[in-house]
Structure 1
């Protein structure tokens, strides 16, 4: 191991974790919280908009049930395919650049979708929505956490995740205000602006704001350290200090930043002699490969399995619960004093659809959606507070086990109120465990591959969502107990896996131990001068 010092002053040196603590906690962090919260909010919007535009667009576009399902699958497929792309790019060119590009591109696709009169092109747009939103859907957690001092990293990710739940509260309220409107504005000879198209445009506006806002924010200083650019990291840290304290950046006490980096001079020179595309592909291959060899292989498999179990339940049973609630409501309207089991209810014909082109949202659907959203918000707030007292793996374990038990109990419920209570518990625990699993990934993976690692974990979860939808599609109407108990078993198994999640080590130790097979490390003390 070699020690090298760059610059004249090496007296006031610090490692990254200590340096970011010295920036304080104030106005800069509130800005990061605001922009990342808005980013997570629009990710939640994209995941939920189809539930509200389906009834409105069904008559105008003559959508069949198969086409509606195809739109859902296209979105999930786009998000699954994009995980590796955005994760690798985030670790190569930076989190901020990827977030800006994906948000602005996704907003453009959403606006294009609002002008589209053809079902086939809507499917293509939803695929692109999933592809682009897959970037901020996972990278935003790495970007946000890397500005936080070690003490607050896990809890801050959980708190930021609350805004995914807030999206589920705002969407039905926005839909309730916009979709019942009776407007038809002909835009040239292209399309007629109807309420559901206006709804899509309104959803795209905050995403444009996020993209423009991120342009004014800095890159993650932790990313700069991982890429061997401590001078740039110091510039960001000084900006954080100045914004938080109101003092000049020159008063920041850290003048020299200690970093660990690979001593791969020969390899680097060789890569510089290659073409840009070859260098990019080689680095992409190295980053992806590092997740599937020790010491990261076990962590990759473990965290991916937990996220698979979580989203298998959340996007399988979770998406079916509102439909079940409507069936209970319709049955009890026709038979006020009768009760019915889930097995008997699932054999009844699907709820009648409103074929009117002037859609209205059923009040019971709004009440149930808002109730689940409020419960999830309160529960996630509690989980975020508890995360400051315990570890992310404990939160994930407890919430997954609670979610699995509530999923199993759904089979025995006999009223819409019982369904609503269990739906609230299941949804709240699944969202809380989803966010805490992301926190586990941020803690356990080294910074230089954190972006692709978190995307890998989210990708595994999306695969679980697709598999779960197929399971429910094939089994729900004929053997409803099978998918319910499958979800129960998978979610509980995911909770049990949390018992073997390792306790996070010091970040610098992780970064050193996970170098791409290189033992020759260099500790550099770099003096950065503010510019």
Structure 2
């Protein structure tokens, strides 16, 4: 399915399958939903997985690399946050470039760059260099992080868009099960390779970084075969290429067995204004402003603010609290193995550490993790996968509001139970439910895609995800600074934020509406 071929393949002979004039949504519906869409969903889900692997891989590393890098708890929080800071710094840039230069070019180029910086970070010798290259990884991985939702959504009609995005999230959920599997197969080994000229010992946790970058590399190569988003091309006024892309999609979905789809022209929607190329620094800054300012003005101000707040609250727990999940669970499992069965999570965390000046240091340096720890992190991913699958099936029936409120309430209450129970084996399960607030990230993204017009969509999602990343930074540093001294406060703060987000969900415009319907095409 090479992009270089799709123009010639789509221009087959004229047949009875002709349409004089149509909108891009109707044209995509005429192209049908088939093998192209399924392939794109799988690739998109893999890209989302690649983003998450780059972000969450550090959650395993900070526990087993603390001896090599001499990490304190606060430094662990900073290492967990620095990737996200890189994402925050660059998200506006990539959103702007995706809206003006194209979704696909941004996704592919930044994936390749993030793989390169991850490879270099695996050879770093101290905290500062590790933080620097993980920052660069975050800077580049931000590109596909937001743009992939717009890219995937814009290959689908209104009727199938939300389900396609949620299906990609299901692929992402399945892909995320790779994280504990990769960690177990790589980290829990004891080989080492001295690298004298870099003054490091290459241990399994370093290889773990490299393996986690492979899905991004594979996805970038695969996406080279796909065209740019047809909706983006229409928004740029390039309707001829958009028609060719739709015709190519139709040929693939029909296995070339149906007459070629003939579309004379595509009508541009009034909200599909072009954000064309400009020259000069001032012109570029003005265009960035033109892409951003409308999101904070009527009629988009309220929906922008609400989506950003919801993403912030979700990421505080889904990422911020999860960064320390493997480490905390490992402490609980170690305590259970030592015969401790009647302590709260926070009592166990405090007992595993001691104060040294202004820093809190670990008493027992670990090179590997307990096998049961991998089981719980694996179960978290399994529950995420099945949860996303269930949401995919019911979201068009029950609506996005019901999903948002239920997940926020369930996870918020679970966070309060984590610090209330003195049964470690039960507390682990409530901690696991707490971090599953990540279900709502994709629901919010699906809502954002429909809340904004094509020319603002990628920027809107980028900005909302930027606020989500700020929530991640807040959550990780909150853990790094408070987990040892004010453990209960970290769970109280995260839980209250989630419950507040559940209430705010009621105020998102049109959030109570179920999926819209569009043109129906018989097979």
What TM-score bracket applies, with the shorter chain setting the length?
A: 0.7 to 0.9
**Cα distance between partner residues in 2 of 1:147 and 1:406:** 38
Pair 1:57–1:427, CA change in 2 (3 A): closer
Pair 1:214–1:393, CA change in 2 (3 A): same
Pair 1:151–1:260, CA change in 2 (3 A): closer
* 8 Å CA contact 2:317, 2:494 repeated in 1: yes
Pair 1:175–1:295, CA change in 2 (3 A): same
**Cα distance between partner residues in 2 of 1:264 and 1:423:** 46
> Which residue is 2:34 aligned to?
26
DSSP 3-state at the match of 1:76: helix
**Cα distance between partner residues in 1 of 2:206 and 2:188:** 12
> Which residue is 1:68 aligned to?
76
Pairing of 1:87-486 with structure 2 (within 5 A) = 87-185=95-193, 189-190=197-198, 193-247=202-256, 251-261=260-270, 275-336=279-340, 338-342=341-345, 344-350=347-353, 355=365, 359-428=367-436, 430-486=437-493
Pair 1:401–1:253, CA change in 2 (3 A): farther
Q: State the shift of 1:396 in Å.
A: 1.6
Deviates more, 1:124-133 or 1:405-414: 405-414
The structure 1 residue matched to 2:86, chosen from 58, 68, 78, is: 78
Deviates more, 1:402-411 or 1:303-312: 402-411
DSSP 3-state at the match of 1:12: strand
> Which residue is 2:359 aligned to?
none
Q: How many residues of Structure 1 are paired with residues of Structure 2 in the alignment?
A: 490
* 8 Å CA contact 1:342, 1:411 repeated in 2: yes
Q: 1:315-359 CA deviation, whole Å, 9 max, x = no partner? A: 3433344444334334433445x5123454454343966536xx3
- Normalization by structure 2: what TM-score? 0.86
Q: 1:32-90 CA deviation, whole Å, 9 max, x = no partner? A: 11211211111121122112333443333444444333322211211111111111110
* 8 Å CA contact 2:326, 2:373 repeated in 1: yes
* 8 Å CA contact 1:110, 1:201 repeated in 2: yes
Deviates more, 1:51-60 or 1:151-160: 51-60
**Cα distance between partner residues in 1 of 2:333 and 2:193:** 36
Q: State the shift of 1:506 in Å.
A: 12
DSSP 3-state at the match of 1:251: coil
**Cα distance between partner residues in 1 of 2:336 and 2:26:** 61
DSSP 3-state at the match of 1:291: helix
Q: State the shift of 1:445 in Å.
A: 1.1
* 8 Å CA contact 1:55, 1:354 repeated in 2: no
1:501 correspondence with 2:508? yes
Pair 1:188–1:233, CA change in 2 (3 A): farther
Pair 1:11–1:208, CA change in 2 (3 A): closer
**Cα distance between partner residues in 1 of 2:378 and 2:438:** 15
Pair 1:144–1:221, CA change in 2 (3 A): same
Q: 1:480-525 CA deviation, whole Å, 9 max, x = no partner? A: 43332222221111111111222279999xxxxxxxxxxxxxxxxx
**Cα distance between partner residues in 2 of 1:476 and 1:264:** 48
DSSP 3-state at the match of 2:33: coil
**Cα distance between partner residues in 2 of 1:160 and 1:122:** 31
- Normalization by structure 1: what TM-score? 0.85
Q: 1:272-303 CA deviation, whole Å, 9 max, x = no partner? A: 8x734443322111001111111111110011
**Cα distance between partner residues in 2 of 1:242 and 1:409:** 54
The RMSD of aligned alpha carbons is: 2.9
Deviates more, 1:476-485 or 1:391-400: 476-485
Q: 1:387-436 CA deviation, whole Å, 9 max, x = no partner? A: 132322332222112111211222222222212221232233x1211110
* 8 Å CA contact 1:226, 1:261 repeated in 2: no
**Cα distance between partner residues in 1 of 2:400 and 2:478:** 30
Pair 1:323–1:176, CA change in 2 (3 A): closer
* 8 Å CA contact 1:45, 1:167 repeated in 2: no
1:12 correspondence with 2:20? yes
**Cα distance between partner residues in 1 of 2:115 and 2:413:** 38
Q: 1:241-262 CA deviation, whole Å, 9 max, x = no partner? A: 0111123897214322111248
Pair 1:264–1:401, CA change in 2 (3 A): closer
